[in-house]
Amino acid sequence: MACSKIFSGELPELLSDIMQYFRNDFSTLHSYGRLIGDCIENWAAAVKKEKSLFCFTKSTFIRNIKILYLKISTPLLKFLSSNCNSISSLYNPRFKDNTDIEYLSQLIKSQKNLKKICFVKKFPPILLNSNCLNTLNTIIFLYINFNNINILNEVFEQLNVLESVHIMYCYSLDSNFIQQIINLSKPFKLKSLFVDEIFESIELLLQKSGDYLENFGLSFEPNTTYYNDVSDSQLLEAKSQLLKLITRYCTKVKFFELIEFNNNQNIYLTFDLIESIKQNLNYLTIDINYNFGSGFNRDTELSSIVLQNLGQILPFKLEYLDLTLVMNTTDFEIFLINSQDTFIKKLLFSNIIDRTREEVRQDNLLYNIKDHIMEMKRVKYFAFQNHFTDDGENDEDLFHLIDELKEYNIVIQNYNDLKIKFIEFLVD
């Protein structure tokens, strides 16, 4: 099966991996930068001369594309709309104007087997009466503002084989949005919900779709773009209520991500949620919103609560566990002891440090890693980093001790290499 990825307009995410790998080798990184820049300039020149794209039509390159990652490029979009009908997955379609939307609409209508599509920031009515009504089974919405979008009911009623909908950090999921969904005559199979905002009528949505939800993420970072007139306490209370509703209606969650949490109440509600979904839970990320200075004692206390209480409520097996906390030796050891009955395929720790090791007792973590993780062979892949956020220094990664730890037959990896981003996990 042919599988091609086309990027245009922005650097591909592959560059992130290259930059991480060579982040301390500036001469090599500079050479790659010049090489990539030359390649992009050559590609841009080719796209501007549309006739140069004609060469692709004589090969199977264009005609056999199955997976397309598309960024803004009007000439390329125009060309593909009349020369490619083999796409099964279309990611990241973005638009500059109505011309782009028209070409994208033509591209979608020409496809014979489009199964998955991801919309970013905009959701034009291009799926209405399209040719993919009997093939499209997955829709991903990313960073979309649903304000004044009134076609949802009509679109979803037409899609005959839709099996999963993924909503990631979208906005204006208000009563108008919810009402369109609950008025559907068919199930709304909401498989993913990642949010950083408050909801109106969210309970009605979860009553209809909560039983389908498999992936849930909640960020407590205040969203000042859409909620300038909402107080932090109101946001906090709304998100606390959301945790309670997820616990009540969504028992099949496999992937759970808690980002920027900053409150005792919410971490205990999180423990309740983990208990309720532990039978299905397979991927878990907990990331504290660390605030140096006035918030130091609070964040150290929250991290201690997590490390002292999480281990004993974990399921017997996890595919992935990622903890970003302010760790001290005592609490870290408590977590490792309490979680000793859990096998974790991929285990990641990011230990936040602000050069006050004596104050939070972060002096002997490596010993505990060897004693409780390496020797007991509780994990298959492992990553640990000390994350310095006070002076801009590079993080310290356990990866540099790979030779010292290789005797334990556990794969030591760079923290950023092993870390999962859900959108990449979803489209993989």
- The pLDDT of residue 6: 42
Lowest mean pLDDT among 15-29, 193-207, 294-308: 15-29
Model confidence pLDDT, tens digit, residues 8-24: 444 444 445 444 544 44
Angle at 295 between CA 292 and CA 299, to 5 degrees: 95
Domain locations along the chain: 1-134, 137-146+154-281, 291-428
- The pLDDT of residue 366: 73
- The pLDDT of residue 101: 79
Model confidence pLDDT, tens digit, residues 219-257: 887 555 555 566 777 778 888 899 999 999 999 999 999
Distance CA 111, CA 132 (A): 7
Residue 129 reports pLDDT greater than 60:
yes
All residues at 6 or more sequence positions from 390 whose CB lies less than 8 Å from its CB, including other chains: 292, 353, 354, 355
Percent of the chain with pLDDT over 70: 71
Phi, psi dihedral angles at 75 (to 5 degrees)? -60, -40
| Distances, alpha carbon 415 to alpha carbons 63, 291, 300, 323, in Å | 39, 22, 22, 11
- The pLDDT of residue 10: 42
Cα 107 to its chain centre, rounded Å, is: 27
Confidence tier at 27 by pLDDT (50, 70, 90): very low
Give the highest mean pLDDT range of 42-51, 160-169, 382-391, 392-401. Answer: 160-169
Model confidence pLDDT, tens digit, residues 31-67: 445 555 555 555 555 544 444 444 444 445 556 677 7
Cα 367 to its chain centre, rounded Å, is: 32
- The pLDDT of residue 386: 83
Distance CA 373, CA 2 (A): 42
Cα 267 to its chain centre, rounded Å, is: 21
CB 353 within 8 A of CB 362: yes
Model confidence pLDDT, tens digit, residues 202-212: 999 999 999 99
Q: Give the predicted TM-score (pTM) of the model.
A: 0.81
Distance CA 288, CA 323 (A): 8
Q: Which residue, 280, 300, 200, 297, is CA-closest to 241?
A: 200
Size (the chain), residues:
428
Mean pLDDT of 359-369: 62
